[in-house]
Structure 1
Amino acid sequence: MSPRRRVLYDEQEESGKDFMVMGWKSLDRSRLIINNCLLFPFIYCRPVEFSEVEYPEVENQRRPQFWDPIRLALFTLAIAAIIGIAIGIVTHFVVADDKSFYYLASFKVTNIKYKEKYGIRTSREFAERSHQIERMMSRIFRRFTRGHRFIKSHVVNLSPSEDGVNVLMVLMFRYPSTDNAERIKKRIEKLLYTSLNTNQLPLTINKQSFRITPLDSKKMRNLLNSRCGIRMTSSNMPLPASSSTERIMKGSKIAMEGEWPWQASLQLIGAGHQCGASLISNTWLLTAAHCFQRNKDPSQWIVTFGASVKPPAVKRSVGEIIIHENYHKDTNENDIALIQLTTQVEYSNIVQRVCLPDSSIKLPPKTSVFVTGFGSIVDDGPTQNKLRQARVETISNDVCNRKDVYDGMITSGMLCAGFMEGKVDACKGDSGGPLVYPDNRDIWYLVGIVSWGQSCGLPNKPGVYTRVAQYRDWIASKIGM
């Protein structure tokens, strides 16, 4: 006990003797006081210690509040969780019940003049003007339909008019299935007319020329079938370029059905998959000339479509094979060939043609392009049943012709793509397949045909492709495209 405590005890003991005796003799005192006095004389035996004022402070202590900060926070979190779950359930059913709506829009643009190249859908002029129109429509509808209702637009045709250009395009929206096409059509028309009245659009549209017609999915698909290079999901919605990722040499990504609808498997009867090929019309495909060194007889070949070799989604016999007259197997020059099917294919989400690039197309170095195929994923490995994909980058011919790369073997009709560090590359069995590039409208162009390379995925040995733009005149001379 500390010295200070001892002094206090002694003072209480001396001054409280009489009170202690009186406490024992008086029977009217509370047993509680007597006991406390006996046990704790230095605290309870002074008369002032038992004043009435002290008891309420001891007996009526303040109870803790139920809504203290911790309980309040937990209660708030619980309520928020319940609300979040409820919103999620409602959103799930609302979104799951959304439906695609398609419309054919036609109108006249009066502040531009028609150019002859607008009639060629793969031309740079058509692509640039279409992109301007589609971008304008996107700004209009994303601003007024909370963004997610408008999906995409595609210009189908540009035709001449006396005072401008006639535009035909498809508009795609997502609305609850409880809506109907006519009601949505009225909303679209109202939004368009409101926008046209602002006079802030880059193109001047004649209001009286505007017509909007609802389309079912089949008619919409038929219209877009007239366009090359468009990928669609199973729900007839466009598949953006950003969905495509890694694959082939030392990759593992398998393409989903319809992701590369122009990819074909070229198979020799009795020997299976030999090469890839790309559909460029409903009867013609492009591939590599070196695929036919072993056998040039069309009757011995078949072509299949789909994301797997077996079972194929579509199968066709080959009617004709056209190999470039100046193909040289020693130098790999002019490594290009055409294949004609005996029976045309029907375009669908699984089978679609790729666009041929304009002869003037220029892809700067490090442009992202994509290669696909059923070839090996390791050097000298087996071919694959499932279609695989890879993103690679274009490499300039100057770099590719360096002494430590291909030492001058790359000609103007060739295109290098891959990575100088190697690893990602086409490989055995990918020959003849497509190297494709998406423009800013998600329209895909066949810029290369898998041709040759030293081994697969080696450093300083990128893949070499036939440069398709260099052969546009040759293709046109053979099949009129």
Structure 2
Amino acid sequence: MYAPIEFSEADYPEVHYQRRQQFWDPIRLALFTLAIVAIIGIAIGIVTHFVVEDDKSFYYLASFKVTNIKYKENYGVRPSREFTERSHQIERMMSRIFRHDTTGGGRFIKSHVVRISPDEHGVNIVMVLMFQYPSSSSAERIKKKIEKTLYQSLKTKQMPLTINKSSFTLTSIDSKKMRNLVNSRCGIRMTSSNMPLPASSSTERIVQGQETALEGEWPWQASLQLIGAGHQCGASLISNTWLLTAAHCFRKNKDPRQWIVTFGSTITPPAVQRRVGRIILHENYRKETNENDIALAQLSTRVEFSNIVQRVCLPDSFIKLPPKTSVFVTGFGSIVDDGPTQNKLRQARVETISTDVCNRKDVYDGLITSGMLCAGFMEGKVDACKGDSGGPLVYDNRDIWYLIGIVSWGQSCALPKKPGVYTRVTQYRSWIASKTGI
């Protein structure tokens, strides 16, 4: 069982460097002075250039009609498969239109569909378009370039969807409006500059790892802390008030008044902090077998979604990831067995392992039940560890992230043939909905 541990911090000695005195003759001193002045002048010019020409993010709200598809009722439900699949099709089309257009030194970053509504001739689409252009550019000038590129593409390219050209409108919006629109969707990662991050393919480890997660890269990650005792477990934000975590995290203390939750890529200082108002453990949790190791924690006051606090998507109950699917586990747990909690959030890419393999006699010998999911590598080396309990195991489906597992238990950390065992979230979708309505 991955257990919570204490946080410790290393002391770094101050290093003093000896100064070396140098004597100069007048000619050398004059030449040296001229060289320094020239270097300073060049440096100022470079800095000025980048200050003036530094890229800036521009956001636009696009609205248009698509006439060759019919409206489905589930298009109005954002977490539905129908909305997700149709949104991805529209977003891929926008990427195809704008990806290679670099006129004016700009570049297309990303698009997100925020609403699909019915129309008598098809459907209405509302989406956010994100670009980067030199800061000296004007929003109105960029808008004209975007419209020109779109109209040319509709004329010259074969598109899967038919856009009514006369219905297309484009409105410049600020970053706050953009975030409010995009935050209506779950599972979207944002950096501190408001830009969604591309799906990472790194193999940075939690166990024996060096690299830490970036701010805003895993915005649903939370730290569950006992007042006076510090970090105990991880958790995942699934709405602006509910967290999903492991039941064994509350084995010692179930009193919500003794718990706080923090968000951000560091425990200290936290980006956001909340008190816990309610704790719900699964009624059939069995600590002896680790079955039904799942719990909910409700915040006493809601959080506002932002670049660094965001909810993760819950998968449909029928979703089954094939073996060797790349998934990511994150947490503040130790990077070596029995090591200290980490102040900075860490991430690791692991792979799903079939229950049949995980139940082999030389692995976990039949201990893996239908409510559990194995992930890691059979050779070990990369794994969650103590202090990561309750934290998220997520997978990426076309830039939308879904919570597939909850860090539950394992034999030691990163041992060969002893991968991490996670609570299988799809198995508990009905239970989560019965308690939260999500």
Q: TM-score, normalised by structure 2?
A: 0.86
CA displacement 1:354-406 (0-9 Å, x = unmatched): 11112222211111111111111111112111111111011111111111111
CA distance in 1: counterparts of 2:212 and 2:101, whole angstroms: 38
Stretch deviating more after TM superposition (97-106 or 355-364): 355-364
Distance 1:90 1:264, change over 3 A: closer
Residue 143 of structure 1 corresponds to which residue in structure 2?
A: 100
Counterpart residue type for residue 355 of structure 1: C
Is the 8 Å Cα contact of residues 110 and 205 (structure 1) preserved in structure 2?
yes
Q: Distance in 1 between matches of 2:294 and 2:230?
A: 21
Aligned to 2:83: 126
Partner of 1:264: 222
Q: Secondary structure at the match of 1:143?
A: coil
The one of the two structures with greater contact order (alpha-carbon pairs below 8 A, sep at least 6) is: 2
- Please name the residue that 1:450 is paired with: 407
Following TM superposition, by how much is the alpha carbon of 1:115 offset from its aligned partner in structure 2, in angstroms? 2.5
Quick one: distance in 2 between partners of 1:96 and 1:304? Answer: 37
Deviations 1:135-177 (A, max 9, x none): 1111111233359611111111222223322211110111122
Kindly indicate whether the alpha-carbon contact (under 8 Å) linking 2:52 and 2:136 is maintained by their aligned counterparts in 1.
Answer: no
- The 8 Å contact of residues 52 and 135 in structure 2, kept in 1 or not, is answered as no
Equivalents in 1 of 2:285, 2:117: separation in Å?
39
Q: Equivalent residue of 1:275, what SS?
A: strand
Give the Å deviation of 1:194: 1.9
Per-residue CA distance 1:97-149 (angstroms, 9 max, x = gap): 22111001111211112223323323333222111111111111123335961
Q: Which residue of 1 aligns with 2:234?
A: 276
How many residue pairs end up in the alignment? 395
Unmatched 5+ stretches in structure 1: 1-84
Q: Of the candidates 85, 97, 115, which is equivalent to residue 72 of structure 2?
A: 115
Preserved contact between residue 230 and residue 443 of structure 1 (Cα < 8 Å): yes
Are positions 1:438 and 2:381 aligned together? no
- The residue number in structure 2 matching 1:98 is 55
SS of the residue corresponding to residue 214 of structure 1 reads strand
**1:375–1:427 CA contact under 8 A, matched in 2:** yes
Q: Which residue of 1 aligns with 2:113?
A: 155
Q: C-alpha offsets along residues 156-207 of structure 1, whole Å, 9 cap, x if unaligned?
A: 1222223322211110111122221111111111221222223611101122
* Deviation for aligned residue 1:91: 11
> Which segment drifts farther, 137-146 or 344-353?
137-146
Shift of residue 92 of structure 1?
6.3
Distance 2:131 2:52 in 1: 13
Structure 2: how far apart are the matches of 1:305 and 1:139?
A: 36
Partner of 2:183: 225
Which range moved further: 312-321 or 400-409?
Answer: 400-409
Does the Cα contact within 8 Å between 1:94 and 1:176 map onto a contact in 2?
Answer: no
* Post-superposition offset of 1:90: 10
**Among the aligned pairs, what percent are the same residue?**
83
The residue type paired with residue 475 of structure 1 is: I
Superposed, 1:6-405 pairs within 5 Å as 93=50, 96-145=53-102, 149-198=107-156, 200-242=158-200, 245-405=203-363
From the superposition, tell whether residues 116 and 406 of structure 1 become closer, same or farther in structure 2 (CA, over 3 Å). farther
2:23 matched residue in structure 1: none
CA shift at 1:94, angstroms? Answer: 8.0
How far off its partner does 1:306 sit?
1.1
RMSD: 2.1
Partner secondary structure for residue 192 of structure 2: coil
Q: What amino acid does structure 2 have at the position aligned with 1:113? A: K
CA contact (8 A) 1:434 1:446 kept: yes
| C-alpha distance in 2 between matches for 1:449 and 1:159 | 35
Give CA deviations for 1:383-442 in whole Å, capped at 9, x if unaligned: 1111111110111111111111111211221111000000110011100000111112x1
TM-aligned CA distance change 1:270 to 1:347, over 3 Å: same
Partner SS, residue 379 of structure 1: coil
Q: Matched residue of 1:250: which SS?
A: coil
Residue pair 1:277, 1:287 contacting (<8 A) in 2 also:
yes
Distance 1:196 1:430 in 2: 49
1:464 partnered with 2:405: no
Q: C-alpha distance in 2, partners of 1:160/1:316?
A: 40
C-alpha distance in 2 between matches for 1:130 and 1:112: 13
Q: Secondary structure at the match of 1:242?
A: coil
Alignment match, 2:386: 428
Question: 2:11: which partner in 1?
Answer: none
Distance in 2 (CA, whole Å) between partners of 1:263 and 1:199 is 42
Distance 1:114 1:362, change over 3 A: farther
Q: Which moved more, 1:143-152 or 1:251-260?
A: 143-152
Instruction: Give distance in 2, aligned partners of 1:412 and 1:243.
Output: 29
Separation of aligned partners in 1, 2:52 and 2:435: 49
Q: Is the 8 A contact 2:53 2:136 kept in 1?
A: no
- Contact residue 374 and residue 420 of structure 2 kept, 8 A: yes
Contact map agreement 1:122 1:358 (CA 8 A) in 2? no
Code of the residue aligned with 1:223 in structure 2: it is L
In the alignment, which residue of structure 2 is the partner of 1:477?
Answer: 434
Contact 1:247 1:254 in 2 (8 A): no
CA contact (8 A) 1:375 1:429 kept: yes
- Opposite residue 433 of structure 2, the aligned amino acid is A
